[in-house]
């Protein structure tokens, strides 16, 4: 706006200066030059020029804005899609439950086959699996071999079809190595209190001492010796959890003689 005013004032000044020179020259010449019409024409021309200059459109430069100018279709600070469009689908990266934590340890399911029940052909570790196979054969729904360091006397844990929890300790002994009362006492201290057994069983490939049998009868532990094991394997006797524990021995009344 200031530039336009300066140009207009300059143009008026030039016209007035030229007019003054013309009048002075005409007066000095003394001729019959029509000064008044000529001055009028010059003033009119200057006025028209000034009016056109003021009415002409002036191109103004857009004010500078801080930062970089972007086209109307660009979104430099927003999403890379127009606001009217649906946002792109987000792929779920959910971790499957199986991979979110440590893999569950599967129970040791025994194989019930022709050789799985042959307790005479296995070592101590294999004997535990043989007993587990017998439990599975006779209808237990869940059978697990848990023997090892820190087992607290439990080698096989099984659940019968009617929900009884059977805890078995396996003694793979030679024929002359009998299961003593100390073995039964250690097992009796954990089978019910720690392992929460409904039925506690001790199975051996040999036999039990008399004190061991007495302690088992007192605590309600089922003892399965080599003969009973053979009969159980051959299905000539019911499984141990169907065998009632022997009643505690009753003291004999003193004799008169």
- The per-residue pLDDT for range 121-135, each reduced to its tens digit, is 577 788 999 999 999
Which tens digit of pLDDT belongs to each residue from 8-42? 666 666 766 766 666 666 666 655 556 566 666 66
Q: What is the pLDDT of residue 109?
A: 46
Task: Examine the pLDDT at 157 and tell me if it is beyond 90.
Answer: yes
pLDDT above 70: percentage of residues in the chain: 48
Strands (E) across the chain are located at 142-145, 156-159, 165-171, 199-204, 222-224
Average pLDDT over residues 238-253: 64
Please provide the average confidence, as pLDDT, over all residues in the chain: 71
Q: What is the pLDDT of residue 120?
A: 66
Task: Examine the pLDDT at 158 and tell me if it is beyond 50.
Answer: yes
pLDDT tier at 252 (50, 70, 90 boundaries)? Answer: very low
Question: Which of 110-114, 205-209, 244-248 has the highest average model confidence (pLDDT)?
Answer: 205-209
Q: Which residue, chain included where needed, has tokens 């008169």?
A: 256
For domain 119-242, the question of CATH label 3.40.1350.10 is answered with: yes
Residue 137's CB is within 10 A of a number of other CB atoms, namely 18
Domain map of the chain by residue range?
2-54, 119-242
Residue 184's CB is within 10 A of a number of other CB atoms, namely 27
pLDDT tier at 89 (50, 70, 90 boundaries)? Answer: very low
Which tens digit of pLDDT belongs to each residue from 37-79? 666 666 666 666 666 655 555 444 444 444 433 333 333 444 4
pLDDT tier at 249 (50, 70, 90 boundaries)? Answer: very low
Half-sphere exposure at residue 165, Cβ-oriented, CA atoms within 13 angstroms: 9
Average pLDDT over residues 124-152: 88
């Amino acid at each position: 706006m200031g530039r336009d005013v300066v140009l207009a004032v300059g143009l008026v000044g030039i016209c007035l200066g030229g007019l003054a020179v013309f009048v002075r020259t005409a007066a000095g010449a003394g001729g019959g030059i029509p000064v008044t019409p000529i001055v009028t024409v010059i003033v009119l021309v200057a006025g028209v020029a000034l009016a056109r200059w003021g009415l002409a459109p002036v191109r103004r430069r857009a004010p500078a804005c801080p930062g970089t100018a972007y086209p109307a279709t660009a979104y430099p600070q927003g999403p890379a899609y127009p606001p009217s469009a649906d946002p792109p689908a987000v792929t779920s990266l959910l971790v499957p439950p199986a991979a979110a934590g440590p893999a569950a340890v599967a129970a040791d399911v025994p194989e019930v086959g022709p050789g799985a029940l042959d307790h005479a052909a296995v070592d101590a570790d294999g004997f535990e699996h043989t007993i587990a196979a017998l439990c599975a054969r006779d209808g237990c729904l869940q059978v697990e071999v848990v023997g090892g360091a820190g087992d607290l006397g439990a080698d096989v844990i099984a659940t019968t079809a009617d929900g009884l929890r059977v805890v078995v300790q396996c003694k793979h002994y030679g024929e002359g190595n009998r299961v003593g009362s100390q073995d039964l006492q250690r097992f009796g201290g954990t089978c019910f209190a720690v392992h929460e057994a409904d039925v506690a069983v001790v199975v051996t490939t040999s036999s039990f001492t008399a004190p061991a049998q007495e302690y088992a009868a007192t605590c309600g532990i089922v003892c399965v010796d080599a003969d009973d094991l053979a009969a159980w394997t051959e299905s000539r006797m019911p499984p141990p959890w169907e065998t009632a524990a022997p009643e505690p021995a009753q003291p004999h009344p003193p004799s008169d003689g």
